[in-house]
Amino acid sequence: MKNFSFDLPTEIEFGFGLYQELPQKLEVGKRVLIVSDPGLKKIGLVEKIEKVVSDNGFEVDVYTEISPNPDEELVSDLTNYIHEKGSQQIIVLGGGSSIDAAKVASCMAVNDGPLEDYQWNNRSFENPSLPLYVFPTTAGTGSEVTGVAVITSRNTKKGVVDKYIFPDKALVDPELMKSLPPYLTAITGMDALTHAIEAYLGLGANAFTDSLAEQSIKLIADYLPKAYANGEDEKARYKMAVASTLAGIAMDQAGLGIVHSLASPVCANLHLSHGLANSFLLPYGMEFNLIARKEKLSKVAEFLGVKTSGLSKNDSALLAVRKIKELQRELELEEEIEEVTDVNPDLDKYAENAANMFLINNNPRKASVDDCRKIFTNIFYSDRS
Ligand SMILES: [Fe+2]
């Protein structure tokens, strides 16, 4: 029975075809900038949104230079573009990279620099960001409902955390997720599952976030394989969009843990995507946390649909780990996970980077540099097949 608070300033709207109502949500007379990535431009999604907005009398500019793992340089380029065009409201269409870059740039456009003051020196933004409307195109990141944006800086991934980083509106439209290919559906969905499980097990968990995480885990277990099998399955896309938003809120309010911390050096050294790294590392994190969270992990097994009646908490918790591996197999990630290797890993570097992540302080079991080194040794030197 602990004290807690819950603060979500972002307004959430949800539904198929929501993007068509976008002009009514924008501020009349203010110049619009659409921020996205080259992939979404190529499949015509950016043009679709641009047309809806420009057909309704708005002046619109488009920036589609977002690349994975956005860094300070990209944020600065986007901020300059906002100044150059005189953009007064921002629409972002994309996954975590686009959303995070736009969240920071829409703050930096109306606040004095440098970014490192806000990212590294605890300075708070004085002015609210430009109005920011977020359309997530993956059911994974959850960034549309969080007050943090992850930007690569000083060779590591570091969150910019501020009340003005929260988007004004999260416009969750599963229609825009239908074109996501199966592989990206799988790894972003596994990232959402990691958010829910880490939020549920972490020290910051509370009664509200537990409810969100529980519902999210159940939905992902039921609907991620269906969305993977058929991206046109509207019910599966809808349920996954709900699950990812719930997990996003849970992680923002409760925090993450060792899985995301281990993922940081793995992504940086092996150039793996965030989603694949988390899906690969999730069972390791759960096994590590078993001693501290047997009860809750046995609940996770139930949420994942595992029959646990008559079993001890320990055995049920172990089945939760096994179920994650089954899910990896079902989503055909197994082969790719087996290929994740570093022929000559600098274990000290990996372990220090993970143990220095801020997120690891929320992990239910204390994780030292040595603990992280042991996990990485197990990852790189044991037979994972
Ligand atoms: Fe994540």
Residue 189 Cα to ligand 1 midpoint, Å, equals 10
pLDDT class of 96 with cuts at 50, 70, 90: very high
Average pLDDT over residues 170-180: 96
Average pLDDT over residues 88-117: 97
**Token pair for residue 291?**
């001693």
Cα 83 to ligand 1 centre (Å): 30
pLDDT at 83: 98
Q: What is the pLDDT of residue 385?
A: 56
Task: Say whether 12 sits in a helix, a strand or coil.
Answer: strand
**Mean per-residue pLDDT for 71-91?**
97
Average of per-residue pLDDT across 154-177: 94
- Does residue 247 contact residue 260 with C-beta atoms inside 8 Å? no
Peptide bond into 345 cis (omega under 30): no
- What pLDDT does 337 receive? 86
Centre of ligand 1 to C-alpha 4, Å, is 23
State in Å: Cα 135 to ligand 1 middle: 17
Helix (H) or strand (E) holding 81: helix 72-85
Radius of gyration of the chain (CA): 20
**Separation of CA 310 and ligand 1 centre (Å):** 34
Q: How far apart are CA 375 and CA 347, in angstroms?
A: 10
Q: Taking 80 as the threshold, does the pLDDT of residue 134 lie above it?
A: yes
Q: CB neighbours of 126 closer than 8 A, spacing ≥ 6?
A: 111, 112
Distance 328 CA to ligand 1 centre (A): 16
261 CA → ligand 1 middle, Å: 10
Domains belonging to the chain, first-starting first, are 11-177 (3.40.50.1970), 182-381 (1.20.1090.10)
Q: Which pLDDT value is given to residue 377?
A: 94
Question: How many angstroms separate the alpha carbon of residue 341 from the centre of ligand 1?
Answer: 21
> And the tokens for 58?
């708005």
Question: Tokens 């949104």 correspond to what residue?
Answer: 49
Q: Cα of 256 to ligand 1 centre, how many Å? A: 9
How far is the centre of ligand 1, averaged over its atoms, from the C-alpha of 57 (Å)? 37
Q: What is the pLDDT of residues 253-272, one digit of tens each?
A: 999 999 999 999 998 888 88
**Statement: residue 383 has pLDDT above 70:** no
47-72 in b/e burial notation, b at 16+ Cβ within 10 A?
eebbebbeeeebebbbbbebeebbbb
Q: Report CA(68)–ligand 1 centroid distance (Å).
A: 13
20 CA to middle of ligand 1, Å? 29
pLDDT of residue 384 exceeding 80, the answer is no
Q: What is the mean pLDDT of residues 160-171?
A: 97
Whether residue 184 is predicted with pLDDT greater than 80 in this model: the reply is: yes
Give residue 270's pLDDT.
87
Ligand 1 centroid, distance to 260 Cα (angstroms): 6
Give the pLDDT of residue 344.
84
- Tell me the β-bridge partners of 60: 32
Residue 327 Cα to ligand 1 middle (Å): 17
- Ligand 1 geometric centre to CA of 276 (Å): 10
Could you tell me the distance, in angstroms and rounded to a whole number, from the CA of residue 29 to the centre of ligand 1? 36
Q: Is 62 helix (H, G, I), strand (E, B) or coil?
A: strand
**Which pLDDT tens digit goes with each residue over 298-354?**
999 999 999 999 999 999 999 999 999 999 999 999 888 888 888 788 999 999 999
150 neighbors 100 (Cβ within 8 angstroms):
yes
Distance 23 CA to ligand 1 centre (A): 31
Global pTM exceeds 0.75:
yes
Q: Find the 54 Cα to ligand 1 centroid distance in Å.
A: 34
